[in-house]
Amino acid sequence: VETAIWAAMQEREVAEGCTQCHTTQNTCNQCHTRHEFSAAEARQPEVCANCHNGVDHNEYENYLLSRHGILYRANAHHWDWHVRLADAYAHGQKFPTCQTCHMEFEGKYSHNMVQKVRWGFAPMKSIADNLDHPWFEQRKESWLATCGQCHSRSFAAAWFEMIDKGTTAGIGLVEEARAVISKLYEDKLLVGQVTNRPSPPPPDKDEAGGFFGLFWSKGNNPTRIDVEFAEMWEQHIMRHFKGLAHVNPGGFTYSEGWSKLIRSLARIRDEDTRLRERAAMLARVQALEARQGTRQGELDGLDRRRRWASLGFTMAGAGLLTLGFGAWRRRKA
């Protein structure tokens, strides 16, 4: 599951942090840890926290800060973690965990965690534009059935409408920022773009706000708004969506999500204005210098003509004086 920039990273100690989650996601001991290899241990949300946390997929934080997570922590010590997951609610578990929601599909439980995935790992415009497609609708129906174990269908449907509309609105902010930074890149106005923007390690190719900019830096690549935009599409929109999906208000409003998207968009707009005003000023200075150069040439030419004219007048005057002096001497003689 290597990404291009990860494969090219010289800082292997950093890349190892990616490895610890991404190359073990298909093995048993990531959840059933080697010390216990216990199903009871693997059924608890804490086992998910090792990987599902942080700036681009903070599911664990969103769960714990949601009403579900708060009730889990208040009541989990009463639950029997040794019963089958399929029997958990029947044996006294009253509130959902990561496992009871994500491992359930059409009333059955398995290790397939992606059967109900709709927005994927990176919410994007191509998904938002196709949410009414039967593929997405079918998966939403599966989620409504999962939520229906505790909630009414109307309540669950209203919340999923909020998830979809809120995520789509967040994607709109990302796309607005994408248009701004892409145009700056196209116009070669990013800081140092024409003088000091080395290409990223192959096989990655240079682009505005590329993923590589979160893990690699050389010269003026990435610039500060490259990083700002990379955080928008790779981190802020994901936290916004995860907050909505896990019913954590702070996760999609003020502390994370929407407010972070707005902040980054404002910074990118400001930098766009600054860079374009600077480019306009430089163009004006160059035009003035060019005009000044032309004017100076004209002045130099005029000055040369004046000097020659002055020399001519001087020589003519000297000639007249000579002639006058000669005539005076002849008259005197």
What letter represents residue 45's amino acid? P
User: Cis (ω within 30 of 0) for the bond into 203?
Assistant: yes
Looking at residue 323, its pLDDT comes to: 53
* Closest alpha carbon to 32 in 56, 58, 50: 50
51 and 58 in contact (C-beta within 8 Å)? no
Q: Torsion angle, CA of 26/31/34/35, rounded to 10 degrees?
A: 180
* Closest alpha carbon to 243 in 141, 332, 153, 166: 166
User: Cis (ω within 30 of 0) for the bond into 222?
Assistant: yes
Structure tokens that stand for 242 in this block: 């995860």
Looking at residue 33, its pLDDT comes to: 85
Looking at residue 239, its pLDDT comes to: 95
Looking at residue 61, its pLDDT comes to: 96
Looking at residue 12, its pLDDT comes to: 73
Looking at residue 330, its pLDDT comes to: 58
181 and 268 in contact (C-beta within 8 Å)? yes
Q: Which residues of the chain fall short of a pLDDT of 50? A: 1
